[in-house]
Structure 1
């Protein structure tokens, strides 16, 4: 096995276990020799996880590759700790070949330590020691001389020099605990390095287990709500909290009611400890220095909880601005936003926020790590995170700002949460897929749960799309569906009323049941969906879009179509009525009038195609071509064309358009809007 293969295997094993490190936290490295393609001579190299990568999923493309002689030569030009940030740019001059990924701030730690393999990890057990008030003494008591203590120092070149000195001066040591930060271990082989990392983590956890005092967070003062009641309360609060957390910029949300979170929030000391904030740099970069904590019991009335959350949010913003102004200097980047990334609601759970679902979910995972760290530190000592000035230096680090600037430009629908009814097939499937491709999180809603699941899984992971099974004629079912949507992504911004069906019969043959079914699904169903959508959007206070997939038949009268055409006309007027009513809330309501969408259409495949083909006297397989020839453009309309119209109406370029019906019919003059 090559050095790189061994490094990747070790990294993936360590990174896949949350007891070892958090998502995207820590880094690993290996040193070895390869032939220089220019000189043909061996050259010593270091392979190290690059900036922003994740150990659990690391591949070779995520490694930075540097010449060891050049990296170590930087010690001769190092200008001192006050200018150590300049060294990161110098790493680029040490790259070998194309260099691989961008070198991270921790590159010096790996290159300067005189060991073939180095691991730097963020295990909860290790950080509990690192954030304990008497962490150095605890490390000595737990490990003796086998693990050394390095006081807090911001990650960088000097920290690399400090750790290299420990390795040189303490040959008995297998690694270090870094104050306020994590652990680093080393070894002569990849196997030895991995074994030592695990030894440090497991020994630390064993010490905590054996010496912990009971109830480090204090006694239980408020039991969590029962599961069903808890989820219902979370669904009611989620849009409100997301709206508050999106005051400066729109955010996607994530909800967690794990046992770890609920137990922490049930305890007497949760507010006191939460106020101290997180410590490990990876933690507070994603969670901010501290969360917003609702200070009401779980049984408080909903309206009281909402009112108090709004008061606490204003106070949080004032406090964050004060924090920024106290520590910022002339070189600090501008304040990025004063809203919380973590909101804790006792008895209910944790709401976390980010620029996308993965970022929001990971922020919540990091706060769970922080709870574990606080529990560990408080069980054997006192939790004592690094001071706020140091947190600010990390949060508003010029290097962190540069990393943010390197991120790709957001897609047009980034941060938006869409719910598409009838999303399991045909036009709905095309709309769900296109909205996700444009950056939206998508809830695929369909009465056929298997179809909804298949479409959602085809789009991507649950960070991008989730399925819900719902009959749009059921108000209770829709309430549950929207509840599932807000618990998945924090809220809903964009709703597409697409669910539908059609029965083509002459007036004399149209039964009352035919009429009721079509009006229940399309007229009543759209009304009920829009009612739920408006409730969520108003609670968020972020505006929104409601799109009706109506039909050319809403304005064009054709034969043998009375129930379908009347239901579509009802939908078309709902667009105008709701545009007039919801405009004051910033909610835009628009419609799309497709025609002749045969290929890929669930309605046409379900019998409507055969019925319409019989009406027009053409073979069913030629119906799409028949429809195309009667249009001005002589082109067949496909589900993707309807999806494109949804994006055009919702992606920002038509931000002042509401009450509009957009024809997507290749040009049917008789259906021109007047």
Structure 2
């Protein structure tokens, strides 16, 4: 049968015969290719969800004899981005022989350690908990996915009956059970029971969990998977609204798009503050139509408390979301009370379900927050996890919608959910994760960050784990810097917005965009600036006003907007002002720039005195003579300074270096390092202070 991109309505057919032909004879390459195609469609499985495998014959490096080897996605990997280095390869004979030492379901976690005795390829990733599920099925190529359409049936009250009738018995059913060695044995038993009845299965549905499908080749497995999912999805679509309106019909209407964004931007920092009561969290917001359909519905109150069904979903979204009352959003006491109720409820869930050896309770704050009429917020330790939580809960919404269309949605019992969430193997995986970087969970806006010093600061902060908001008044310059940063750090670490620091509306709009992108802000660096070097006689009033507008008024406007966000969050923050040694050194041809810099320096001290009670630290970095890639040297500044010192522009770098005590040229990275010193955690009790980064200019010493 011939297939093409139009063959499937509910899945993307992505197989390229020419690409596949290049891999002919390399079953592992074809398995990875198939995996990547399946992982590219979020309707089929989420990032990091599901697993795929292939069994091949290979030469045993010890005996030289042919042996059966299974290649499978390694623990913690993602099939959409899977490479060979992310796979585990195991001797099949050894893996199957583990059944001889299996002591029963009460001891099955100990089997994970024994997987290491089955390793064939010494460069293997750690085998995942799904390894025996693939190993005990005798098929060459196997796909285990979490498609919304299949889980909707798997999570339906009548899921088993629907599966049998929809596929005429060709898709088996195994009821909910936590993944592990015993579930692998149950999959094999399901297959054998069907064979005893003369039925050849082409897949198995796992109750509340997902789908297993297979094939003799990578392509046949791929097609089988798509066909099964297509049939599930079409069945759901045919039943949407058939017996009752989707989600019981619409209860409220969504606000207009611009109003949704404005409400979300206004509320996000407050929510972030509540969610950051134990550690700083980063936010994500979506008003996807699928989310709005659910949160505006009559069934929201019934379905949201049930929580999600698929383990991959609730591991990232918690057992249930927090649902807000739109009529009470402006009431601070209401928000305080609903968050406290959520935390109390989560603690009760933990203590009711915990075992003697359960890990300590984790953060009791919600991950998913639903705002009817507006959208969904998700908060996590970093932007990637917050975005993934949003994607997973959207999938959970799809599951609830499908299950309710054909039957009745059923979530996992709390004890089963707890046993997954606080599984010792999951805890061990969490403990193996690398230590967070110094600025992980922090959000930074650096003005004028499309070039020069600002760009170096943004790069340093992103390297240290922060989410950064690039901005500039020049769109072309901003686009170029954004493209560069996206390549370096990815979409979850970088956002951009136009910002004219002299325009209050522009500044507040930039911080609204910041709140929508990441949930709030922790670090504001006032870096944007210009310089004009002229004598008092030559200095025009227009030039004087321009200096004070950008340097002084700009610092005031941006700080005011940033402080408003920080106060909503209630978790403190940092403001770092890039000033200059010219704030304290009196030199020739510098009345406008030098006095504006002095105003910036004193404003730092004034803000530090005012904002200490809010735990907002305000500090100064004083550079000097940073020539590399800086806008400050445009517009005649270099010529003006060269004239003042009686040298040529070309002689400036060496001149500046020679006049310093260290005889060093100052680079943008040096300023970035000083900013990091203030915000990186070691100087959390420092405010109203200044760091000079000038190579040592004695006249600039603070007295």
Residue from 63, 75, 79 that aligns with 2:99: 75
Is residue 2:287 matched to residue 1:257? yes
The equivalences for 1:221-300 within 5 A come to 221-297=251-327
| Aligned-residue RMSD, C-alpha | 1.1
Is residue 2:160 matched to residue 1:136? yes
The equivalences for 1:170-181 within 5 A come to 170-171=194-195, 172-181=200-209
State the 1:355 CA deviation.
1.3
Is residue 2:433 matched to residue 1:419? no
Is residue 2:550 matched to residue 1:521? yes
Q: What is the aligned partner in structure 1 of residue 74 from structure 2?
A: 50
State the 1:618 CA deviation.
1.8
The equivalences for 1:28-427 within 5 A come to 28-171=52-195, 172-212=200-240, 213=242, 214-297=244-327, 303-304=330-331, 306-427=332-453
State the 1:99 CA deviation.
4.3
| Unmatched 5+ stretches in structure 2 | 1-23
CA contact under 8 A between 2:532 and 2:635: conserved in structure 1?
Answer: no
Q: Any idea what SS the aligned residue of 2:643 has?
A: helix
Q: Structure 1: how far apart are the matches of 2:345 and 2:36?
A: 40
Q: Any idea what SS the aligned residue of 1:654 has?
A: coil
Q: Structure 2: how far apart are the matches of 1:117 and 1:606?
A: 65
Q: Any idea what SS the aligned residue of 1:434 has?
A: helix
Q: Structure 1: how far apart are the matches of 2:123 and 2:700?
A: 60
Q: TM-score, normalised by structure 1?
A: 0.98
Q: Any idea what SS the aligned residue of 1:170 has?
A: helix
Q: What is the aligned partner in structure 1 of residue 687 from structure 2?
A: 658
CA contact under 8 A between 1:150 and 1:163: conserved in structure 2?
Answer: yes
Number of equivalences: 670
CA contact under 8 A between 2:155 and 2:207: conserved in structure 1?
Answer: yes
State the 1:174 CA deviation.
0.4
Q: Any idea what SS the aligned residue of 2:330 has?
A: helix
CA contact under 8 A between 1:28 and 1:49: conserved in structure 2?
Answer: yes
Q: Any idea what SS the aligned residue of 2:377 has?
A: strand
Is residue 2:618 matched to residue 1:592? no
Q: Could you give the per-residue CA deviations for residues 399-443 of structure 1, whole angstroms, max 9, x where no partner exists?
A: 000000111111110000000001011000100001000100000
Is residue 2:570 matched to residue 1:544? no
CA contact under 8 A between 1:276 and 1:290: conserved in structure 2?
Answer: yes
Moved more, 190-199 or 572-581: 190-199
Q: Any idea what SS the aligned residue of 1:350 has?
A: strand
Question: Runs in 1 of length 4+ with deviation above 4 angstroms?
Answer: none
Q: Any idea what SS the aligned residue of 1:409 has?
A: coil
CA contact under 8 A between 2:172 and 2:191: conserved in structure 1?
Answer: no
CA contact under 8 A between 1:431 and 1:642: conserved in structure 2?
Answer: yes
Is residue 2:15 matched to residue 1:15? no
CA contact under 8 A between 1:449 and 1:467: conserved in structure 2?
Answer: no
Q: Structure 2: how far apart are the matches of 1:615 and 1:85?
A: 76
Q: Could you give the per-residue CA deviations for residues 520-568 of structure 1, whole angstroms, max 9, x where no partner exists?
A: 0010000011001110001001100000000000111111111111111
Is residue 2:688 matched to residue 1:641? no
Q: Any idea what SS the aligned residue of 1:510 has?
A: coil
CA contact under 8 A between 1:25 and 1:54: conserved in structure 2?
Answer: yes
CA contact under 8 A between 1:599 and 1:624: conserved in structure 2?
Answer: no
Moved more, 451-460 or 418-427: 451-460
Q: Any idea what SS the aligned residue of 1:114 has?
A: coil
CA contact under 8 A between 1:600 and 1:638: conserved in structure 2?
Answer: no
Q: Any idea what SS the aligned residue of 1:17 has?
A: coil
Q: Structure 1: how far apart are the matches of 2:365 and 2:378?
A: 11
| Unmatched 5+ stretches in structure 1 | none
Q: Structure 2: how far apart are the matches of 1:154 and 1:477?
A: 52
